[in-house]
């Protein structure tokens, strides 16, 4: 009879260890679930994911449930093991050796091993466990509610309010990290596009616009032959039409309508030109790129003239310019766009003065200050505080520049290199 009783006690003890392992692994598995993958699986009506989501809506109550079960099982197991050891070896062994042996058994089989497995395979543990935890939660809800309220009131005494649960919304920096760590799940080119979309919030139209001095347009004060020559060699889909000065903008001419302003004899029909031009669209220079992209979409425009706070035209921006910020360089013009940065093969670069600071930083992974002037010419002039001659050198942070050519108070080209990179080479 005693032998049978011991075997029964060992069997019960084994069951208790299994139950303890279940609660331990459930806790780790539930808390290790990827919340965003869980939401995705829930939307696809995955039953295990939906049960786990239901349990995780109140994580404090879920933890209380698991700990109630785990501690209850552990205490019963400890008492039962004490009885077994007492029967086999006496009370002295139960007092001295019992706690040590019991601790080792529970650490290995009921804590470390199941929790490690759950940490590596949270879905395989948490989803099946939810079959048991959800009905158990409903059965033990009064006990869980009581203990949870006592715990929350104690936490409030020390200034912790558990009612303020995070909504788990990602900020842009966190989303960038997730996209960057997506690995093979998202192709590298797609990762770059997603990151570029997030970067649209940090840039304005002023950062990527075509500067005023580079705008190509039709000046109505020019003679007919000059205008006709421009119309015959249009490289752009839309071209501004102005009178004398770009600030006196008349409208925008679409390339497909250019033939309508030339009569059957090949002469310019100025009245037809004024009829075919469309009303210009203006945008403030401080408009964020993601806002401007939305404005282009809503207002059915593909090109805008950038103005400052005084209404003076500072540049021109197109829908293509913004799309290039997302997908990379492409051109729909009849000739490729010029390259502003030319590598010299020795960690030095010849850079056009019209190159934007944003493009230089993105292309060379530099960190030139972007808060002030938007072009290299403006940046160098700001630091020099004068109009320089050629061969003048200047250092801005870790970047050295040597002015190569100057024309009309505008720095056309400069040689540049990063001090740190040059040092590494030497």
CA distance 19 to 101: 18
CATH class of 341-425: alpha beta
pLDDT at residue number 168: 62
CA distance 251 to 249: 6
Cβ distance 383 to 396 under 8 Å? yes
Alpha helices in 90-120 (DSSP H): 91-106, 113-120
pLDDT at residue number 372: 79
How close are the terminal C-alpha atoms of the chain, in Å? 87
pLDDT at residue number 162: 67
Q: What is the CB neighbour count within 10 angstroms for residue 49?
A: 22
Take residue 117 and report the two structure tokens written for it. Answer: 């497995």
CA distance 266 to 80: 106
Q: Where are the domains of the chain?
A: 2-157, 203-327, 341-425
Q: Which of 201, 240, 189 lies closest to 219 in space, CA to CA?
A: 240
Cβ distance 403 to 377 under 8 Å? no
Q: Measuring CA to CA, how many Å separate 51 from each of 37, 60, 148, 318? A: 14, 16, 21, 49
In DSSP terms, 417 is beta-bridged to 348, 400
Take residue 267 and report the two structure tokens written for it. Answer: 């002469």
Helix (H) or strand (E) holding 282: strand 282-284
Q: What is the CATH number of domain 203-327?
A: 3.10.580.10
Cβ within 8 Å of residue 398, ≥6 positions away: 418, 419, 420
CA angle 310, 311, 312 (to 5 degrees): 95
pLDDT at residue number 338: 46
pLDDT at residue number 189: 78
Burial class (CB in 10 A: 0-12, 13-18, 19+), 326: middle
pTM for this prediction: 0.62
Q: Which of 60, 36, 62 lies closest to 49 in space, CA to CA?
A: 36
Q: Count each helix (H run) and each strand (E run) in the chain, helices first.
A: 18, 12
Write out pLDDT tens, residues 271-306: 888 898 999 999 999 999 999 999 999 989 999 999
Take residue 11 and report the two structure tokens written for it. Answer: 């069997």
As a dihedral over the C-alpha atoms of residue 270, residue 274, residue 277, residue 282, rounded to 10 degrees, the angle is: 120
Give every residue of the chain whose pLDDT is below 50, as ranges: 1, 331-338, 422-426
Cβ distance 68 to 140 under 8 Å? yes
Long-range contact set of residues 87-92: C-beta below 8 Å, sequence gap at least 24: 87/2, 87/6, 88/6
pLDDT at residue number 134: 92
Long-range contact set of residues 7-14: C-beta below 8 Å, sequence gap at least 24: 9/80, 9/83, 9/84, 10/84, 12/80, 13/77, 13/80, 13/81, 13/84
Conformation bin of residue 343: beta by default, left when phi > 0, alpha when psi is -120 to 50: beta
Q: Are strands 282-284 and 245-254 parallel, antiparallel or unpaired?
A: unpaired
pLDDT at residue number 90: 78
pLDDT at residue number 35: 85
pLDDT at residue number 333: 44
CA distance 260 to 166: 62
CA distance 65 to 46: 23
- Answer yes or no: same fold for 203-327 and 341-425: no
What is residue 83's three-state secondary structure? helix
Write out pLDDT tens, residues 377-398: 989 998 888 888 778 889 998 8
Sign of the torsion angle spanned by Cα atoms 100, 101, 104, 110: negative
What is residue 334's three-state secondary structure? coil
């Amino acid at each position: 009879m005693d032998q049978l009783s011991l075997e029964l006690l060992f069997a019960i003890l084994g069951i208790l260890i299994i139950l303890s392992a279940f609660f331990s692994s459930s806790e780790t598995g539930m808390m290790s679930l990827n919340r965003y993958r869980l939401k995705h699986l829930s939307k696809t009506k995955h039953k295990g994911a939906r049960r786990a989501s239901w349990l995780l809506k109140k994580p404090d109550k879920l933890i209380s449930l698991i700990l109630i079960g785990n501690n209850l099982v552990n205490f019963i197991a400890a008492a039962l093991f004490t009885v077994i050891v007492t029967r086999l070896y006496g009370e002295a062994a139960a007092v001295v050796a019992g706690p040590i042996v019991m601790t080792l058994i529970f650490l290995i089989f009921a804590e470390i091993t199941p929790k490690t497995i759950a940490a590596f395979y949270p879905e395989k543990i948490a989803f099946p466990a939810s079959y048991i935890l959800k009905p158990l939660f409903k059965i033990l809800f009064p006990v869980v509610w009581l203990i949870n309220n006592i715990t929350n009131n104690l936490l409030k005494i020390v200034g912790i309010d558990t009612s303020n649960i995070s909504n788990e919304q990602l900020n842009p920096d966190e989303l960038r990290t997730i996209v960057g760590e997506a690995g093979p799940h998202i192709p590298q080119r797609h990762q770059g596009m997603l990151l570029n979309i997030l970067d649209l919030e940090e840039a304005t139209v002023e950062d990527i616009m075509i500067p005023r001095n580079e705008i190509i347009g039709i000046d109505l004060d020019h003679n007919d032959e000059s205008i006709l020559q421009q119309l015959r060699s249009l490289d752009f889909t839309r071209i501004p039409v102005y009178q004398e000065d770009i600030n006196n903008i008349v409208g925008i001419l679409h390339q497909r309508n250019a033939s309508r302003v030339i009569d059957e004899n090949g002469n310019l029909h100025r009245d037809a030109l004024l009829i075919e031009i469309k009303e210009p669209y203006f945008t403030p220079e401080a408009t964020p790129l993601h806002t401007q992209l939305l404005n282009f979409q809503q207002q059915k425009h593909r090109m805008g003239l950038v103005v400052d706070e005084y209404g003076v035209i500072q540049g021109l921006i197109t829908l293509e310019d913004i799309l290039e910020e997302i997908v990379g360089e492409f051109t729909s013009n009849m000739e490729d766009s010029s390259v502003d940065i030319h590598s010299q093969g020795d960690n030095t670069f010849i850079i056009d003065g019209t190159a934007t600071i944003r493009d230089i930083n993105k292309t060379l992974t530099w960190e030139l200050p972007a808060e002030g002037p938007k072009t290299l010419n403006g940046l160098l002039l700001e630091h020099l505080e004068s109009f320089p001659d050629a061969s003048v050198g200047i250092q801005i942070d870790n970047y050295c520049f040597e002015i190569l050519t100057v024309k009309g108070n505008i720095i056309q080209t400069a040689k540049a290199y990063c001090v740190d990179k040059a040092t590494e080479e030497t």
